[in-house]
Structure 1
Amino acid sequence: MEHQVAATPAGLRERKKQRTRDALLRVALELFTTQGYERTTVDEIAAAVEVSQRTFFRYFANKEEAAFAVQETVESHFVGALRDRPAQESPFEAMHNAVLTAWASLEEILAPTVPVELYLRTYKVIESTPALLAEHLRRSTELEEEIARLIAEREGLDMDTDPRPRVAVAAFVGVMRVTGRLWGQGGDPGIEAMRELTERYLDHLTPALATDWRRRPT
C-alpha cells in the first residue's frame, strides 16, 4: 500500500491563513460592490468572516489594500504573459497578444481566490470611487514604468536615452484605460464584453498612430 504523507503543522497553518485571507478578501469585495467602498468598515468585514479586526489587519494594511489585491494579481498576470511573448514580436504586437492571452486565462487565475465577475464589479467600484481612482492612477503609473522597462529589455534599448519604450507603453495603457471606462459605462458587465472591446480598440492603435486620418485608405 502507498503511504500518504501527512500534512505538516506548518503546511496546515499556511493553508488556514490562506483560507482566512481569501474569505476576508471575498467579503470585502462583496461589501464594496453592494453597499459602497466608503460605507464599508473593517469591523463589518471582520465580523462577516467571524474574525477580529486585528486579524483583518494581519492580512491587509487597510481597506484600500484589500480593494486592489485582485487588481494586483491581474496586473502581474499580464506582465508575466508579456515576458513570455516571442522575441520576434514588435512591442505593440507583444502587448496586444499578452493582454488577450491574460484575459483568456483570467477566470482560471482568479478562481482559487474570487469569482471573475466579482473582480469585474470591483473594477467598476474602483473607477467610480474618487479615493480609489486616484490610487488606481498612481498604481497605473508604476505599472507603466515596469512595462516600459520590460519592453526596453526585449528590444535591447536604454530607456534613459531612448524614449520609445515609454511612448509605446503610454499609448497602449491609454487604450486600456479608455476601454475600461467604456466597458464600465456599457450595459454588458461580462468578461467577454470587456475582452471584445479591448481587442477592438487595440486593433485601432497602430493605424491611429501611423496613418493620416484625413486620407481614406484605397
Structure 2
Amino acid sequence: MTPERKLPERRSRKARRTRDTLAQAAFELVLDRGLRNVTVEEIAEAADVDRRTFSRYFTSKEAAALDSLRGDGDRINAALRARPAPEPPLLAYRRAVLDWLADPGAEPWHRRPRIFDLLVVAEEEPTLYAVFHHIRVDAQEDSVAIVADRLGVDPRQDIRPAVTVAAGAGALLAAQAAWVRGGRPDALPALVAEAFDALSADLLGEPRPAPEQHLDAPERHPGAPEQHRGITSTTSTAEEAERTEATS
C-alpha cells in the first residue's frame, strides 16, 4: 500500500477513535451524574478534546451518550440479511433479533455493561428518548430495504416490507420496555421471544391455534342464552318453538 493510500486510512481510524472516546465519556458521565447534570464541555474535557471537536462528531450530549446503540441496528440488519430466503419476512426478522441476542460477539444489550442502566435513563428523559427513537427509525429504514429485497418488491409501491418491520420493531420495543420496567438485565431474550409470540401466528407463517385453545372464549352452559359477538340473544326456547309451529 502506498503512503498516499495509508494517510486517509490513518485519519479515518483516528476519527473513529475520537468519536468512540467522546461517546464513551458521554455514556459514563450521563450514567454517573444524570443527563441534566452533564454539559457538552465536560464531555469534551473528559475525552481530552475541545468543544469544537465535539461538535464535529455530535449535535448534542444525548446523541453522544446513545451513540453505542447505533451499531445494534446494524448488527440486527446484518443478521436479517443472512437469514434463509424461504423464511417468511416477519419470521426472518424475529430470528435475526434472536440471533443478535444469542451472539456474545455482537455484544447485545443484556451482555453489555450498563446498557440496561442507559435504557432506564432514556425512558425517564424525553430528550434522550427522542434521540433513541431516531436511532431506531434509521435502523428500521434499512430493515425495510432488506425485507423488500427479500420479497423482490419496491417498498415505495408495496406496503408489506414496512408492515413487517413495523410489527417486528414494535415487538422488540415492547420487549425492551418490559425489560426496563422489570429490572432483570438477563430477562431480555425471553421477553423478546414472548413479544414475537404475541404477534399474529399468520404473519409469522406458523399455524393458527385451534379454537379450543383460546382461553378468552365464553363458556356456555346448557340452557344458557347464546352470545354473538358480545350481544346476548334473548330469544327463548319456547319462542323458537312457537315460530316453528306457526310456519309449519
TM-score interval, normalised by the smaller of the two chains: 0.7 to 0.9
CA distance in 2, matches of 1:162, 1:14: 38
Q: Percent identity?
A: 34
Q: Say what the alpha-carbon RMSD is for the aligned residues.
A: 3.0
8 Å contact from structure 1 (residues 29, 118) kept in 2: no
1:205 aligns with 2:199: yes
8 Å contact from structure 1 (residues 148, 169) kept in 2: yes
CA distance in 2, matches of 1:214, 1:119: 40
Cα offset for 1:45?
Answer: 1.3
8 Å contact from structure 2 (residues 23, 66) kept in 1: no
Cα distance change, pair 46–139 in 1 and its aligned pair in 2 (3 A): closer
2:56 — aligned with what?
A: 58
- Consecutive unaligned residues of structure 2, counting only runs of 5 or more, are 1-5, 215-248
1:95 aligns with 2:93: yes
SS at match of 1:205: coil
Cα offset for 1:207?
Answer: 2.9
SS at match of 2:37: coil
Equivalence map 1:34-183=2 (5 Å): 34-105=32-103, 107-110=104-107, 116-183=112-179
Cα offset for 1:28?
Answer: 0.7
8 Å contact from structure 2 (residues 22, 44) kept in 1: yes
1:195-217 Cα offsets, whole Å, 9 max, x none, are: 22112221332338689899432
Bigger drift between 48-57 and 96-105 goes to: 48-57
Instruction: State how many pairs are aligned.
Output: 205
CA distance in 1, matches of 2:8, 2:144: 40
SS at match of 1:56: helix
CA distance in 1, matches of 2:122, 2:187: 19
Pair member with larger Rg: 2
**Normalized against structure 1, the TM-score is what?**
0.78
1:5 — aligned with what?
A: none
Bigger drift between 177-186 and 125-134 goes to: 125-134
CA distance in 1, matches of 2:25, 2:123: 19
CA distance in 2, matches of 1:66, 1:197: 28
Cα distance change, pair 57–95 in 1 and its aligned pair in 2 (3 A): same
8 Å contact from structure 2 (residues 70, 135) kept in 1: no
Structure number with the bigger relative contact order (C-alpha 8 A, sep ≥ 6) is: 1
8 Å contact from structure 2 (residues 116, 180) kept in 1: no
Cα distance change, pair 153–14 in 1 and its aligned pair in 2 (3 A): closer
1:166-218 Cα offsets, whole Å, 9 max, x none, are: 222221111111111110111212xx321221122213323386898994329
- Consecutive unaligned residues of structure 1, counting only runs of 5 or more, are 1-7
1:32 — aligned with what?
A: 30
Cα offset for 1:102?
Answer: 1.4
